Every structure is written in C-alpha cells, then in structure tokens.
C-alpha cells in the first residue's frame, strides 16, 4: 500500500481547496502509484492524532465544489510544532505515517506551515523513511519567499478591489458624506492593502496606509481634515498591521478592570470624531476578503489547481523537501513558470513589499499595478442552488 | 415642453439604479410625451436648489451599467422636508418644477421619501398644477406598507445568506474555534436578519436575534456558553436593531471625557470575552449588504426595472399620488402582480415581521422561508473590465 495524505494549514483562503482539488485529481490519475488519498482532519493535528479520512469516500459532487469553496474543507489548525525535532510529537507523526502506509505527504500553508513541512521532510530523511514531503504555497498575505506570488493572494486582492469599488458607490452618494475607513487584512505585510490602488478613479481611495510605512496620528488627522474640506467625504484604506501609540488611559475596561483595546481602525475613527468632529464609518472587509467565492480570480483558482497537480507529480517523481513556486516570465501576456524550491529556502524567509512598488500615501507605483493586474483576471461561473451558492461539506468519516 | 425628473432618496440599495434604468428606458419609448429626462442631484435637494442634469447626455454605456451598479447613481440625501406644507422650501420646489417644465416627478425611496412624495403630490393638486407625482418603493429593510416586499430587500437578503454561508466555511474550519457574531442591517425591522435562516445546514446560524424580540444579556450569555460547550464554535446572527442596557460606566471616553459606545455587537463580544472567557469575532456585513453587485437577485433586479417602467406608464396615464407595489399571487411558481396604491396609505404605515414568520431563536418558520425563497432567485452575469466590475459614473452636468 502506498497512500498519500493531504494537510491544510493556517488561515484559509478562497482557493486553498482548489489546490486540494488539483492534488486529488492528479492522484486519481495514478491508481498504480497511489492507493488511498487521505485528508488530515484539522491540519497537522489529524496526522498527530491519527484522524484521517478517505477523500474517495466523499460525494463526487463535493469534490467538484472544492474549486468554489472558501475555507479549509479538510479543517485546519494554527498549532505550531516544537522547534526540537526530538519532541515526542514528531514520533507520533512518524508512527501514524507508518500506520497508515503513507508514501506522500502534502502540506498546504504559509511560512509557519512550510517550516513544519520542512521538519517532517528532514525527519523522514534522517530516519531513512521512503516518504516524499511536498509543500503547497498559500496565504492571502503574499509574504512567502521564493515565489512571484502566493495562491490566494490574487483572489483576496480582487475581493478587496471590487468590494471597495462597490461600496464607494454607496459611501460617496451623499453630498455631505462621511470619512469611510476600510480595514484590510495582511498582517505585517502591505500587499493586500496596496491592492486597493487598483480601484478605478471614481472610487479610488484618497489615502492608503501600509504597515511598511511609519504611521503618525497627527499627520493622519491633518490628511483627513484636508480631504473633508476639499471633497466633503473620502475613502481611506488602512492595513490591519499599522502601528501607533494607543490611548490606554481612556479605553474601555472589562468587569475585571482589564483594558480592552478596540481595533486600530475603530480607534482611529474615534480619534477623528473626537478631535475633528468629522463623522467616520469603519468598514472591515473582514472574512469576506479571504473567504469570497463571488470574487474569485480565475487565474488564481487555475494556478491553485495546477500547483496541487504539480505537487503530486513532483512527489511521484521522488522529489521531497520541496515546494512548488511560480516564477513570472512576463506581464503581457502574463506567463508564469512553475518550479520547485527547497523548503528550507522558504521556511525562514519573507517576501516584503519592494520599495519600488510604493509611490506615496495616495498611490502605488506603475510597477505594482503591472505586477497585480494579470493576477486578478478572469471570473468563475459558480454553481448555485435556489439562489444560494453550493459549497463542499465533507462527511469526514474517520478511518479506523 | 413636458419633462420628467427622477429623484433617488434615502439609503441606497443594490437595485435602486435598476428602477432608474427601467424608468429611463420607458421614458425614451415615448418621445412624443416626454422631452427631457432629468436626474435630480442628491435627492430632493437637487429639485430644491435647481440642480438637475439630463440623463440623455450621459454615456449610453453608463446607462446600461445602471443595472449592476449599487448606490444611488444620481446622488441621494437623508434630508427630511418640514411637516408644514406652507414652508418656503415647498415653494422652491414648485418654482423649479415650473422653471424646468416638469410634468412628471418620480421619487424612489422608503417610508420618509414616500411622505415627501405624497406632500409634493398634494401640493401640485392644491395648486392645480398639471403634474403627475409617482412613488417608486425601495429599502433593504422591507418595512414599507402595502407591498409584498420592497425592491432591494431580496438582493440584500441574498447577500446576507450567501456571505454568511461563505464565511462559515472559514469560521468553522478550526477545531477550537471562536464564536462569530455577524451583525446585520435592517434598523428596527428583523426582515434582513431573518434571511440568515436560509443559510444551508452546514453553515446555519446557531442563534438568530431579531429586534422584534426582547434581548436579555444573561440569557444570551447562557446560550453562547451552551454552544461553545456543545460544539466548540458557533455563528450567531444579530440585528443592528436589538436593544439592551449598555455598560456606560466602563466604556471608553474621548479626550473631552464623553462616553463613546461601541457598536452593539462589539459590546456583546466584549461581554462574552470578559464574562465567559470565550474568544469572539465580530463580522459586520456592513455596506456589502446593500451595495453588492456580486450577489444580486435577478428577480429583485428585474422587478426593480419593471417597477421603474410601470411608474412611468402610470404617470403617462395621468395617475398621481400613487406608488407601484407588488402583490404576491403564488409562491410556486412565483407570481407577483403589480398594482398602484395611494401614497397616503404607504407614508404613515409600516410592514412589520409577522408573528407567524418567527419560530424560535434558532429558526424562522416554514412560512417565512416559503416567502423569501422565490425572491432571491436568479443570478446576474456582470460586465467586468480587467478583473474589475464596471459601474456607472455619471458626469452630471448641471443644466443652466
């Protein structure tokens, strides 16, 4: 028996299940080389606890729906494995790899997950286990090293751009409007916030604040006042990762007296209202950035499927400790080449937003727009039932 | 010269511009009866200040895009007119009606706007002006009287249902998850919050709180604790209109010492975290409920267009002081009849959520589901350009 196990890890995206779909479809094409195709329930935890299920036992319709289902269909986890490879948890993993006759391991995740993936590859190597371990890149933050972009980023960017454009039609239709602050995900990386620069002129943000730049509250207030005076309303896009000194003295406290800080943008809205008396509305795009089937990039979705397929191909060719990445060849026409890189190179590095992609606080550079534009192309025709999108719902019957 | 003026009023919806489109298209079909087709800039304010623009001067492509553009393409206002019909502002309106040779007035709005519409109709009648005034119903809150449903409600409901279903795939993919509180619009009416009951089983809310029911914080905490213990995570949908006693003692204060209350759901999340120690995430669907081209109901959109058309037809037939409404004939197949009702009947009434539509705090009744289901049917194939939705952007050249 030569089985494979597929693991989804970390925060989900709109296309993480598309990579699973690609890997599943490629595995099915090789019945001579792969017997069972297992999903690990809730990320690496499934492999630690021996909680796997057989993907071929699921309804084929649920498999087909993977390419339009956000979130992690196998379940995911934020659990980080210990640094010490001698930790007993690694022995539990090895135990289950043997028990379930696993020959191929796929871990689909971001930086932390690639570190885990790398450790398991090393462990198998040290123990002379004939197991191939392959990483599948994913994160809406686009901060993974060694790849032109990460799977999931483009769909999140497309959701951010289109959502801001749509709500601008609502936000800007009053004569005496408010300042709208839109909060965008991306942790400490400004990639996703920067995407808002692609919103067309008639809904373009007046200001874009990236976490890469110093955030000065006084300067911010000056900019807001200026917009209000000049236009009467405005749209300001702020990354969740910006940092500024918080007012803990006047903050809310819970019943134990603990200070409870509001989100950064809520706090900034309060400061605008109390210092400038300007009405401000905070719009968090929240989970609809990374879990949005309605604004999928076809390019992102198709690349996610192909990377899933190529991960299986690489494993079948005997590759291990590698991750499939994309290298861009050209923007117009958009051409990207798929390659393999060692997991070690990915695990301890980060792709930061290059200086040449930034211009000023109202614009990104032409180079950034040329970079992002091809990634958001193409729409998906979704399957609906009675006006409601159909999404994968696996039964996940645990294998005894 | 016999001209018409079209006014958009109050909070926008995803299909308010579709009614404008229908009215425009119908008006164009009668060049013998209607000369200029004017849009009033920023609602009734445009008519008061004489700020109108000619819709036929706009780019025809922008006209076609109206049926996929949320927000109010003419601009809107929240300004309420004085109760006293002798107020000078009404004379300004009459002045501009005469000045611009207006024969037909259309006001597209909710309760307040229908009151304005009714007053203008009365005024024209009293002054023996040969002007037809017609109301076009609109509001995502679905609380207008005399109509089976309001235009815009179904698309907002479809956005709520599909958005919650999509984010449930993200929210529920961890083993030890959070409580997710989703805040839904609708002011004091529970219609839109109730729509969340149509989310399929695998993402269905655990609890639904309508503003029509008393909200007890202690009972709420008991319910949350129960869900967390039973399932590990949960989705709770709460109307923005629920009322409960707020903790002003421990709230945040601004630099002047003024108490600043957080939104109801943010406050409830704080209470859950501080009293129960359960991690809670608030997801406000915010403007993407009412400004969402990506989740339009084709049924809603088509009805919005038809009501726009029929409003013009009614005016051309000499009707005035009336509003076009929908009366439902049957659910399966869905058939609705269009009728006219006097504005006076609409202006001072409200459509509340019927008792028989509610069941308990986890479910609405079968009758409600049968009511809503046909309204959210059908999808729209949107026009995109380079991965970004195309939306109307009128130039609005003010007529001298």
Q: What is the 3-state secondary structure (H, E, C) of B303-322?
A: HHHHHHHHHHHHHHCCCCCE
Residue A262 has a pLDDT of 64
How far apart CA A292 and CA A382 sit, in angstroms, is: 12
Query: What pLDDT, on a 0 to 100 scale, did the predictor assign at position A43?
Result: 96
Residue whose C-alpha is closest to residue A290's, from A169, A113, A154, A399: A154
Rounded to the nearest angstrom, the minimum Cα separation between B367 and chain A is 17
Mean pLDDT of chain B: 94
Mark yes or no for CB contact A288/B256 under 8 Å. no
pTM: 0.96
Closest CA to A266 of B68, B284, B123, B381: B284
Which residue of A291, A378, A388 is in closest CB contact with B170? A291
> What's residue B281's pLDDT?
94
Of the candidates B250, B237, B12, B264, the one whose C-alpha atom is nearest the C-alpha of residue B141 is: B12
Distance from CA of A85 to the nearest CA of B (A): 25
Model pLDDT for residues B152-191, shown as the tens digit of each residue: 999 999 999 999 999 999 999 998 789 999 999 998 999 9
Q: Which residue of B has its CA nearest to A299?
A: B387
Residues 6+ apart with CB under 8 A from B74: B6, B7, B8, B20, B39, B40, B41, B42, B43, B46, B394, B396
- The pLDDT value recorded for residue B122 is 93
Q: What is the reported pLDDT for A335?
A: 97
Looking at the partner chain, which of A12, A174, A388 has a beta carbon nearest the beta carbon of B161?
A: A388
The angle formed by the CA atoms of residues A328, A331 and A337, to the nearest 5 degrees, is 25
pLDDT, position A400: 87
Closest CB to A389: pick one of B76, B162, B287. Answer: B162
Please report, to the nearest 10 degrees, the dihedral formed by the alpha carbons of residues B297, B299, B305, B306 taken in order. -170
Contact A386 B373 (CB under 8 A): yes
ipTM: 0.96
User: Are the C-beta atoms of A195 and A358 separated by less than 8 Å?
Assistant: no
| Nearest Cβ partner for B175 among A42, A291, A295 | A42
The rounded distance, in Å, linking the Cα atoms of B178 and A260 is 18
Among A163, A174, A262, pick the best mutation site for testing chain B contact (most B Cβ within 10 A): A174
pLDDT tens digits, B204-262: 999 999 999 999 999 999 999 999 999 989 999 999 999 988 776 666 665 556 666 66
CB contact under 8 A, B291 and A253: no
Tell me which chain A residues have a C-beta less than 8 angstroms from the C-beta of B158: 387
Q: Which residues of chain A, if any, have pLDDT below 50? A: none
Per-residue pLDDT, averaged over B107-127, amounts to 92
| Sequence-separated (6 or more) residues with CB below 8 Å from residue A73 | A8, A17, A20, A39, A66, A392, A394, B169, B173
Strand partners, B133: B105
- pLDDT (0 to 100) of residue B350: 87
> A235 by DSSP, 3-state: which?
strand
Structure tokens at A15: 């296309």
**CA B269/CA B280 separation, integer angstroms:** 6
Cross-chain CB nearest to B174 (options A77, A162, A273): A77
What span, in angstroms and rounded, lies between the C-alpha atoms of A188 and A241? Answer: 5
The token pair at B286 is 């915010």
- Does residue B141 have an active-site annotation? yes
Which of B109, B169, B282, B385 is the best substitution to test chain A (most A C-beta atoms within 10 A)? B169
Give residue B75's pLDDT band: very low, low, confident or very high (50, 70, 90). Answer: very high
Q: How far is CA B361 from CA A76, A260, B74, B238, B276, in A?
A: 30, 29, 40, 11, 21
Contact present, A5 and A124 (Cβ < 8 Å): no
Of B141, B197, B206, B223, catalytic = B141
Cα separation, B222 vs B236, in Å, equals 13
Distance (Å) from the C-alpha of residue A60 to the closest C-alpha of chain B? Answer: 17
B-chain residues within 8 Å CB-CB of A159?
Answer: none
Q: What is the pLDDT of residue A263?
A: 79
B385: nearest CA partner in chain A: A377
Size of interface A-B (CB pairs under 8 A): 206
Nearest to A170 among B167, B200, B287 (CB): B287
Q: How confident is the model at residue B97 (pLDDT cuts 50, 70, 90)?
A: very high
| Cis, peptide link before residue B333, omega less than 30° from 0 | yes
Of B250, B377, B382, the CB nearest to A252: B250
CA proximity to B269, closest of B181, B210, B208, B183 = B181
Q: Do A250 and B253 touch (CB under 8 A)?
A: yes
- pLDDT of the residue at B175: 85
Instruction: Give per-residue pLDDT as tens, B269-294.
Output: 999 999 999 999 999 999 999 999 99
Question: Is A170 in Cβ contact with B290 (below 8 Å)?
Answer: yes
- Report which of A313, A375, A371 is spatially closest to residue A339, judged by C-alpha positions: A313
Q: How far A297 CA sits from the closest chain B CA (Å)?
A: 8
Inter-chain CB proximity B254 and A270 less than 8 Å: yes
**In chain B, what residues touch A382 (CB-CB under 8 Å)?**
379
In contact, B123 and B96? CB cutoff 8 Å: no
| Confidence at residue B250, expressed as pLDDT on a 0 to 100 scale | 65
Looking at residue A89, its pLDDT comes to 96
Asked if A252 and B262 come within 8 Å (Cβ–Cβ), the reply is: yes
Domains of chain B: residue spans and CATH: 3-152+293-349+379-389 (3.40.50.450), 154-289 (3.40.50.460)
The chain A residue lying nearest B292, using CA atoms, is A166
Give the total residue count for chain B: 400
Q: What is the dihedral of CA A288, A294, A299, A305, to 10 degrees?
A: 80
Q: Do B77 and A297 touch (CB under 8 A)?
A: no
Out of A32, A35, A141, A148, pick the active-site residue.
A141
Separation in Å, CA B206 to CA B78, B182, B197, B209: 36, 11, 10, 10
Cβ-based neighbours of B69, under 8 Å, separated by 6 or more: A169, B17, B293, B391, B392
Rounded Cα gap, residues A27 and A48, in angstroms = 23
A163 and A180 Cβ atoms separated by less than 8 Å: no
Q: Which of B16-25, B65-74, B108-117, B314-323 has the lowest mean pLDDT?
A: B108-117
For testing contact with chain B, the best of A272, A387, A388, A393 (most B CBs within 10 A): A387
Residues of B in contact with A389 (CB under 8 A): 162, 165-166
Residue of A nearest to B286 (CA): A283
């Amino acid at each position: 028996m030569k089985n494979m196990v597929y693991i989804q890890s970390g925060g989900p995206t709109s296309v993480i299940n598309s990579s699973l779909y690609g890997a599943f479809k490629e595995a099915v094409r090789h019945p001579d080389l792969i017997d069972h195709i297992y999903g690990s329930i809730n990320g690496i935890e499934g492999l630690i606890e021996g909680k796997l299920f057989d993907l071929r036992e699921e309804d084929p319709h649920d498999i087909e729906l993977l390419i339009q289902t956000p979130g992690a269909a196998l379940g995911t986890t934020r659990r980080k494995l210990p640094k010490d490879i001698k930790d007993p948890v690694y022995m539990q993993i090895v135990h289950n790899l043997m028990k379930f006759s696993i020959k191929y391991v796929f871990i689909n995740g971001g930086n932390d997950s690639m570190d885990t993936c790398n450790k398991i590859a090393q462990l198998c190597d040290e123990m002379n286990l004939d197991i191939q371990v392959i990483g599948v890149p994913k994160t809406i933050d686009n901060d993974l090293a060694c790849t032109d972009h990460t799977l999931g980023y483009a769909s999140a960017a497309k959701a951010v751009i289109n959502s801001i454009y749509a709500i601008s039609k609502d936000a800007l239709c009053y004569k005496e409007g408010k300042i709208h602050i839109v909060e965008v995900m991306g942790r400490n990386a400004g990639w996703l916030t920067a995407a808002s620069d692609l919103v067309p002129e008639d809904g373009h943000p007046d200001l874009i604040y990236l976490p890469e730049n110093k955030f000065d509250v006084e300067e911010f207030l000056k900019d807001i006042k200026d917009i209000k005076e000049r236009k009467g309303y405005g749209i300001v896009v702020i990354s969740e990762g910006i940092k500024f000194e918080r007012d803990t003295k006047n903050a809310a406290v819970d019943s134990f007296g603990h200070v409870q800080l509001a989100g950064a943008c809520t706090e900034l809205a309060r400061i605008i209202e109390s210092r400038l008396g300007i009405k401000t509305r905070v719009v968090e795009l929240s989970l609809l950035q990374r879990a949005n089937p309605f604004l999928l990039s076809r390019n992102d979705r198709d690349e996610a499927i192909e990377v899933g397929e190529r991960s299986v191909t690489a494993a079948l060719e005997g590759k291990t400790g590698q991750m499939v990445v994309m290298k861009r060849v050209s923007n117009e026409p958009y051409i990207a080449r798929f390659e393999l890189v060692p997991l070690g190179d990915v695990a301890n590095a980060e792709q930061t937003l290059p200086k040449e992609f930034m211009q000023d606080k109202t614009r990104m550079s032409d180079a950034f727009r040329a970079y992002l534009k091809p990634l958001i192309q193409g729409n998906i025709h979704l399957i609906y039932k009675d006006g409601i999108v159909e999404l994968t719902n696996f039964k996940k019957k645990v294998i005894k």
